[in-house]
Amino acid sequence: MGETLKVAHARSLRDGDAASDYPRMAERALIGAVAAALLTALARRYGTLDESGQWGAFACGVAASIAGWPWALLLVAYFAAATGVTRFRADKKAEQTLGTNPQVAPRTAPQVLANGGLFCVLAVQAGPNVASVWGLAAVGALAAASADTWATEIGTLWGGQPRSIATWRPTLPGMSGGVTWVGTLAALAGATLVALAAAWLHQIEPTQPFVIAIIVGGFAGSTVDSFLGGTVQTRRWCEHCRAWTERRVHPCSYRTVHTHGYRWFSNDVVNAAATVAGAAATIGAARLLR
Ligand SMILES: [Zn+2]
């Protein structure tokens, strides 16, 4: 009897008995805050984040640390890969998208949280239970953000002429809603990277349906991103620069004209919606594969 109780207690500890885990959570919050402060300061110094983006990423990093070290390391792996793929031949990509994205700016807090916010909230919910619904949703949300970044960056570089996912008509490189075959493969790669990293960090066999569900879910999320980006996302025109933008007032200080989509449906709203879609699709795929 005593033996059974001991085993049950050990199991509840391992599975994250909330009350007994508080001291460890506080410890992780402290160490995570130090690590997140250092990493986000570095990212800001190299122009990846602006001041608000640094705070957003810091908050997300502390939340992921509280959730558990595998979650924090998964966030770092995603961020490092996304930064790397964004920086890779940035000058050539800027040339390709001239007129749609005139400059690559440091990421702001809304941009950071649109991509990583849902992941952090769900990871805290999941705690050590990565195979739970919350855990699957968390990894799926991050896989969608990763897939979208990879598709955009690699697709712009090597994809050639994009077509609108909604109308299949040719569109300008860098324009939301445009897709290419290279970008589609890159989306799969971005989702696969998160799926394999999650499996490795959480010590789950990479052959488990878990991994396939995340790849499918992340890819579905990035497809939703392209579709919303090409249909309902706001688009404005600067007559002075003859360029598409989301800003009401262009960096050239010219007032822009609203031409497409809903005014409030910014790229950040699209990205946040894509992570929700990625989370939901991952749960759905996991149910089907079980
Ligand atoms: Zn302008």
For the entire predicted model, the pTM comes to: 0.89
pLDDT of 132 over the 50 cut: yes
DSSP state of 100: T
State the number of CA atoms in the 13 A half-sphere of 141 facing the CB: 25
| 274 within 8 A of 148, measured Cβ to Cβ | yes
C-alpha 259 – ligand 1 centre gap (Å): 15
C-alpha 197 – ligand 1 centre gap (Å): 41
Q: Model confidence at 242, in pLDDT bands (50, 70, 90)?
A: confident
Greatest C-alpha distance within the chain: 80
| 257 within 8 A of 248, measured Cβ to Cβ | no
C-alpha 55 – ligand 1 centre gap (Å): 29
C-alpha 290 – ligand 1 centre gap (Å): 52
Helix ranges restricted to H, 68-180 = 69-87, 90-96, 109-126, 133-158
Mean pLDDT of 57-82: 97
| 134 within 8 A of 71, measured Cβ to Cβ | no
pLDDT, tens only, 75-94: 999 999 999 998 888 888 88
C-alpha 171 – ligand 1 centre gap (Å): 20
| Placement of tokens 């239970």 in the chain | 129
C-alpha 241 – ligand 1 centre gap (Å): 4
C-alpha 246 – ligand 1 centre gap (Å): 11
pLDDT, tens only, 160-196: 899 999 889 998 887 888 999 999 999 999 999 999 9
C-alpha 156 – ligand 1 centre gap (Å): 22
C-alpha 249 – ligand 1 centre gap (Å): 8
pLDDT at 101: 60
Q: Model confidence at 1, in pLDDT bands (50, 70, 90)?
A: very low
C-alpha 172 – ligand 1 centre gap (Å): 17
Q: Can you tell me the distance from the alpha carbon of 100 to that of 242, in angstroms, rounded to the nearest whole number?
A: 9
Mean pLDDT of 235-241: 90
C-alpha 252 – ligand 1 centre gap (Å): 4
Q: Which residues contact 37 (CB under 8 A, 6 or more apart)?
A: 58
Quick one: angle between helices 209-231 and 181-201, nearest 10? Answer: 140
C-alpha 250 – ligand 1 centre gap (Å): 5
pLDDT of 276 over the 70 cut: yes
Phi/psi for 178 (5° steps) reads: -85, 140
- What are the structural domain ranges in the chain? 69-289
Q: Can you tell me the distance from the alpha carbon of 37 to that of 24, in angstroms, rounded to the nearest whole number?
A: 20
pLDDT of 5 over the 50 cut: no
C-alpha 196 – ligand 1 centre gap (Å): 42
Which of 217-231, 232-246, 266-280 has the least mean pLDDT? 232-246
pLDDT of 136 over the 70 cut: yes
